[in-house]
Structure 1
Amino acid sequence: MRGVPGRLRPRSLRTRLVLIATVLATAAVLVCQATGLTLMRSWLIGQVDDRLTDFRPPSPVFRDIADGTAPVRRPPPHEALPSDFRVYFYDAEGRLLPDSLGSGRSEPRLARTIGDGLPEDGRPATVPAEDGDGDWRVVADPGPDGMRAVVALPLDSVRDATSRLLWFSLAVGAVTAAGVVLLGGAAVSLGLRPLTRVEHTARSITSGELEQNVADTSPDTEVGRLGLAFNTMLDQLRAALHRKDRTERGLRRFMADAGHELRTPLTSLQGFAELLLHDPHMSRSRRREAHELIAQNADRMSRLVDSLFLLAKLGDAPTTEHGPVDLLSLAADGIAASAVRHPARRVTLAPLTAGGVGDSGELDVVEGRGDPHQLAQVLSNLLDNACTHTPPGARLQVRVGSLRAGPRTGGTERPGRTGANPPLPSGTPVHVVEVADDGPGLSPQDAQQVFDRFYRAPPAAGVSGDSGSGLGLAIASTIAEAHGGRLELDTGPGEGCTFRLLLPAGRP
């Protein structure tokens, strides 16, 4: 049974509002009527008291009643005067005399002696009727020779007036409650119509219509502000869903590409291993060739797995430490390492200034902050990419300098420029490392995809050999973003490629 009140409680907001309005309106009407009833009863009793205090029996009446020489005769009802007054007398010894003035079918219940509780002189009091029906208002007045007179008036008129007013108040309260229920229900329904539209929109969204929005978004109303907050939440939810879909598609594509890249060396390893197992009499030269191919494919697969691990590590913990880094020395070390890996390629080092680049300028120390190992990885990847994808006779140049970000110097968007990371605000002080070549360049379509994972641009004329796993530029762009910088490409068909690493100069 303890759960019954919870089930009886209205759950609809409309029902609750109508119920609350009905209770409040009815209570207000009843309180007002009760206050008026109290005031009216007090006023009517005051009128009776005024009549009582203004009436005084004449002194001869006291003497006649005391002597018994002129007993008061009660006239028959049809001979009685139209007066409600009743006068009762007490003798000098305090006993109620049987004689009285006035007539009527009802009498007040008075004390038989003064000591039994007679009202104080001059102060009106209320006493019940003798037969128990109704009340009387009485006042005691002193008379000659120690006698007393009690003047009484019935309160029937007061009772009738208050009773009628009470029933009228109850009727008004009932009509008010019914009117509030009917009219209040319609008013509440009209007021809650915008909220109902929000509810219908929410139901439509839960049924799959994710592109809907709430129409009522006025900031001047509570429902409008709710609509604004609801639309903002929907926009954020849709953006999160779109990001989730893009992430899932990217992850599926990444896993497919990674599987495709790993499948080739694994297939080669499996083929050459089976060849060695099934042909034990293979010549020494062929056996050596098979071993070399197994080692090459194992090395390729190892480098691919290392690149994937590095990408995952960069995504979880982008930078391990920040310290001062001499970008000029880093570029020189990168050129020296590239000369070992690609001895046939000549790479030069040049300064980079806002006015232009050239071999005639003086090289100066450019000190930034970051992880030196990760920044060296970026430069190594850019140099390997340039040496691998340009013809043997193409000139390669590494430029180092400090500039301010802009359309001409780099760091911001402009036609022919592709960035893997968000652009920097124009005018931002940056340290720049460029790797430029005068090769055939890339088409706009290839330039848009060059930073994607596992993407390989079509080989240029005269270029042969392994083009890598397609992860070098993706790793470089991830490291640049982790340092708060940007990796971008300026290129065009026949214009060569300029890969530019920009690091904010003020980054702590």
Structure 2
Amino acid sequence: MKAGLRAPRSLRTRLVLIATVLATCAVLLCQTAGLTVLRSWLTDQVDDQLADFRPPRRMYEDIADDGRLRGPRNDDVLPSDYRVYLYDSDGRLIDDSLGRDDDRGPRLPAAAARLNLGDGVPTTVSAATGDGSWRVMADSGPDRMRAVVALPLDTVDGATTKLLWFSAFLVVIVAAGVALLGNAAVRLGLRPLSRVEGTAQQITDGALDLRVPDPDPTTEVGRLGQALNTMLDRLRTALHCTAASERQMRRFMADAGHELRTPLTVIQGFAELLCDDPHMPAGRRGEAHTLIAANADRMSRLVDDLFLLAKLGHAPGPHPEPVDLLSLAADGITSTAVRRPGRTIALEPLPDGEADISGRELDVVETVGDADQLAQVVTNLLTNACTHTPASARIRVRVGTIRTSAATGGLDRLGRTSAAPALPPGTQVAVVEVADTGPGLSCEDARHVFDRFYRAAPSDAGEPGSGLGLAIASAIAEAHRGRLELDTRPGAGCTFRLLLPVH
């Protein structure tokens, strides 16, 4: 296709062009119909005049007597526009005619046999001279004579010509008006779409925080704007999640590298020391071996924790089996007391105000899940409480069932932190609480307490943790369709609450 015939690419130009063509075609159609009706009506008027006129009988008598027309030839004898032509009995056209004595007249054959006119039937013939036309009607007389009455169509042609020029002028005016006014109307109507286009271009250029103007949702442009805004919100959410995931991954890799570097450095240092000094005293050699073994064990536990986190994130859900949380808590307390004989840990039921069944001591609190993983959660919570509280602090483990609410647990509120979403309000859940009377955590520390490798304070027991215990416990709770949350404030201790669906 040539460049000059290429279709316009602009939507506004196409709309204006289509509107102009349609309006022009509509005007042409209306003017053509009007022109046809007007010409038909005027021609009918001429036909009525021809039908009302009858040639006088005297004309036929004059022709029969001497073959010539006699009588006055004044213009006022017949209507000024009429012409009457006669054919004698032999079918020859008489030179004389009734009417104005000028060269104007219809083109008629010299013989009546070639006339091809029926009596009383009007017909249009061309003019003998010029470009005009005449309306003629034949009439039969005595002795095979015939008369032809003619009226010029100058009035009809003039009226239709003027109307034709007026129609052409009107078509030009309409086309120009539609093109100008239509362009303004289309520009005004497409202004919301132009704003959407401009905003989309800015977003394409990198301004991802912009939103498409949201006009009337009942219009096509409004629905387009809403759809684009929804798409942009999802895109921004996906980008933020991707960026947060990348930041978390980089931080995770940095923290993992840092945590693994410390024991590796210790192992490498003592190994080099043993290699460089083969005559080292037995006491120092034993101490070096002990430190190497301790750091190797620390590194092994760190790798196991990382493997467990990866397994929780990608492995199938836990093997479902009934688990008695009361027995699980008692076993966790026993194992912790063996490792930390100086700590005071009490096992209690939930207070009556929080328990689902008030005033009744619950002997069995059952849920469905993996007993080993849930035991690890309890052990991690008890280890965390013992590690980050003074030796004089009391630790209480409370077991029971509740219905989720902002007061009892399971829902978010001020001072409560969790890495998992809130549970539906009023859901009956089994609870294991580990509460201490330690110093508590600040708001900043509480927000990151479930992050991997996060440590709020140095260990008091001289056993540096990996910062993965609470992250692992939270991941296990989510894998069991539950939630691990923390209620704390500075000076008021910490209460970690494990909520799981009841059996």
- Checking the alignment, whether the CA contact within 8 Å between 2:59 and 2:69 is kept in structure 1 is no
Q: Which of the numbers 255, 258, 265 marks the counterpart of 1:257?
A: 255
Match of 1:14 in 2: 12
Matches of residues 104-503 of structure 1 in structure 2 within 5 Å? 104-111=102-109, 116=114, 118-131=116-129, 133-214=131-212, 217-219=215-217, 222-283=220-281, 286-317=284-315, 319-338=317-336, 341-342=339-340, 345=343, 347-352=345-350, 354-355=352-353, 362-392=361-391, 394-459=393-458, 463-503=460-500
- Checking the alignment, whether the CA contact within 8 Å between 1:354 and 1:403 is kept in structure 2 is no
The whole-number CA distance in structure 1 between the counterparts of 2:188 and 2:489 is 64
**Aligned length in residues:** 499
Let me know the Cα RMSD of the aligned residues. 3.5
How many Å apart are 1:451 and its aligned residue? 1.6
The whole-number CA distance in structure 2 between the counterparts of 1:254 and 1:74 is 129
Q: Tell me, what secondary structure is at the counterpart of 1:442? A: coil
How many Å apart are 1:282 and its aligned residue? 4.2
Unaligned 5+ residue runs, structure 1? none
How many Å apart are 1:264 and its aligned residue? 0.6
Q: Percent same amino acid among aligned pairs?
A: 64
The whole-number CA distance in structure 1 between the counterparts of 2:154 and 2:56 is 27
How many Å apart are 1:309 and its aligned residue? 2.9
- Checking the alignment, whether the CA contact within 8 Å between 1:122 and 1:139 is kept in structure 2 is yes
TM-score, structure 1 length as denominator?
0.85
Cα distance per residue 1:136-184 (max 9 Å; x no partner): 2222233334443332222222112111111111111112222233333
Query: Which sits farther off after the overlay, 92-101 or 385-394?
Result: 92-101
Q: Tell me, what secondary structure is at the counterpart of 2:406? A: coil
- Checking the alignment, whether the CA contact within 8 Å between 1:351 and 1:361 is kept in structure 2 is no
- Checking the alignment, whether the CA contact within 8 Å between 1:456 and 1:467 is kept in structure 2 is no
Cα distance per residue 1:413-469 (max 9 Å; x no partner): 344433332333432222211122344433444333322221123257xx3121310
Match of 2:31 in 1: 33
The whole-number CA distance in structure 2 between the counterparts of 1:74 and 1:400 is 141
The whole-number CA distance in structure 1 between the counterparts of 2:76 and 2:354 is 135
Cα distance per residue 1:17-71 (max 9 Å; x no partner): 3322322222222222222111111111111111111111123323432x25251
Cα distance per residue 1:380-434 (max 9 Å; x no partner): 3212222333344544333222111123322223444333323334322222111
> What is the one-letter code of the residue matched to 1:397?
R
The whole-number CA distance in structure 2 between the counterparts of 1:279 and 1:77 is 156
Cα distance per residue 1:75-130 (max 9 Å; x no partner): 99999966232333445565655554334424434455565461333222223334
Cα distance per residue 1:168-212 (max 9 Å; x no partner): 111111122222333333333334344433444344444454444
How many Å apart are 1:315 and its aligned residue? 3.3
TM-score, structure 2 length as denominator?
0.85
The whole-number CA distance in structure 2 between the counterparts of 1:221 and 1:292 is 77
The whole-number CA distance in structure 2 between the counterparts of 1:333 and 1:81 is 137
- Checking the alignment, whether the CA contact within 8 Å between 1:413 and 1:423 is kept in structure 2 is yes
Unaligned 5+ residue runs, structure 2? none
